[in-house]
Amino acid sequence: RLKIFAQLQRLGLDYYERELTGRIMTRMTTDVDALSTFLQTGLVTAFVSVVTFFGIMVALLVLDIQLALVVFATLPVLIIGTVFFRRSSVKAYELARTRISAVNADLQESVSGLRIVQAFGREADGAARYAEHSDHYRQARVRGQWLISVYFPFVQL
């Protein structure tokens, strides 16, 4: 976090004119959290999964070669499903990140300009804009959750 903050301090004014503060804050927090989670649990989980997979393959071959061949025949379908899920879920996740950035940017800009908004009586416009951004984010998250709800039961069959 400190290195990212130091990098933000080095960026030029043109960057801050292009990017909304809420988007910068969202990127800084969500990316750091995602990287932290991956490093803490993702690598270990991936290693355990690979070892378990190959262990089961060896056990199947030792116990019953015919059963192992039947199981191995299903692997191409699982691989194709996984590739499709991965491509779709990456797009859904990126869209959700973009949309939560818009929500947070709108919230940050609204809070920092609240006095002006109230002075001109534009609270309803701000609320409507925020609700629209929030709904777009919700739709993106629902899409991602739908993909998960289809993929994991498919894999567990």
Terminal-residue alpha carbon distance, the chain: 41
Residues of the chain with pLDDT below 70 are: none
**Amino acid letter, 27:** R
Could you state, in order of their start, the residue ranges of all structural domains in the chain?
74-157
Q: What is the pLDDT of residue 133?
A: 95
Q: What is the pLDDT of residue 31?
A: 78
Q: Both tokens of residue 105?
A: 């940017």
Q: What is the pLDDT of residue 34?
A: 81
Q: What is the pLDDT of residue 12?
A: 87
- In whole angstroms, what is the distance from residue 134 CA to residue 105 CA? 11
Q: What is the DSSP string of 101-131?
A: HHHHHHHHHHHHTHHHHHHTT-HHHHHHHHH
Q: What is the pLDDT of residue 40?
A: 85
Q: What is the pLDDT of residue 77?
A: 94
- With CA atoms as reference, report the closest residue to 20 among 96, 95, 93, 106: 106
Other CB atoms within 10 Å distance of the CB of residue 114? 12
* 74: DSSP letter: T
* 33: DSSP letter: H
* 132: DSSP letter: H
- In whole angstroms, what is the distance from residue 79 CA to residue 59 CA? 21
What is the pTM (predicted TM-score) of this model?
Answer: 0.73
Q: What is the pLDDT of residue 153?
A: 93
